[in-house]
Amino acid sequence: MNAGNAPHFPTLQTDRLTLRQLTMEDIEFIFQHFHDPRVTQYLMDEPPVAGYAQAQAIIDFYLEPEGKTHNRWGIVRKGDQRLIGTCGYHKWVKAHCRAEIGYDLAPDCWGQGYMTEALRAVLQHGFERMRLNRIDALVYTHNDRSVRLLQRLGFRHEGLLRDYFCLDGVFYDHDLFALLRRECKSYLWVMSVAHE
């Protein structure tokens, strides 16, 4: 398969992780994961998942991502084949070579480098396969863990988006971070990444 006909969102492999498309078999994980207040604490654009119908709607949204402007990979730990989080792109504007990145991880997996490893693969894929020039990230102002992750990956803070999201009648500021292709450091690609 040549690069021109290759899918934009294939399965990605890193040393410890497989990033694959979500399927209906993941509905229990999606419900439990996005029902957990520790996971949804800083996700101001969507309320916590309240039932299986909402979990199914999330999976439906990301099924068959080719031709869409969004994708979400399920992050599977190779050691035990456990689904531990998700990550992907939103608002892909092909004409302007930019997209927004999003991610979440099961709380018992925090602090073990999984998301750094996953996002290195996703960023490499975005710049090389999707031909992105700019990748944005919006972060709730008090989400220090996410800010540190982005800074580790080379993202730069570009400004404050005041009252950017409204949840349950409350407005929340978000910080805008971005990474440009020309700013990418070679350390991003330390992890080997393969496409299936």
Report yes or no on 143 lying in a domain.
yes
Read off the pLDDT of residues 169-196 as tens digits, 9 standing for 90 and up: 999 999 999 999 998 865 455 443 444 4
Task: Tell me the residue range of the domain where 91 lies.
Answer: 12-195
What's the CATH number where 125 sits? 3.40.630.30
pTM (2 decimals)? Answer: 0.90
Provide the domain count of the chain: 1
- What is the C-alpha to C-alpha distance for residues 77 and 111, in angstroms, rounded to an integer? 15
Report yes or no on 56 lying in a domain.
yes
Read off the pLDDT of residues 94-132 as tens digits, 9 standing for 90 and up: 999 999 999 999 999 999 999 999 999 999 999 999 999
Query: Which helix (DSSP H) or strand (DSSP E) does residue 39 occupy?
Result: helix 37-40
Report yes or no on 134 lying in a domain.
yes
Q: Mean pLDDT across the stretch 66-83?
A: 95
Read off the pLDDT of residues 4-62 as tens digits, 9 standing for 90 and up: 445 789 999 999 999 999 999 999 999 999 999 999 999 877 778 999 999 999 999 99
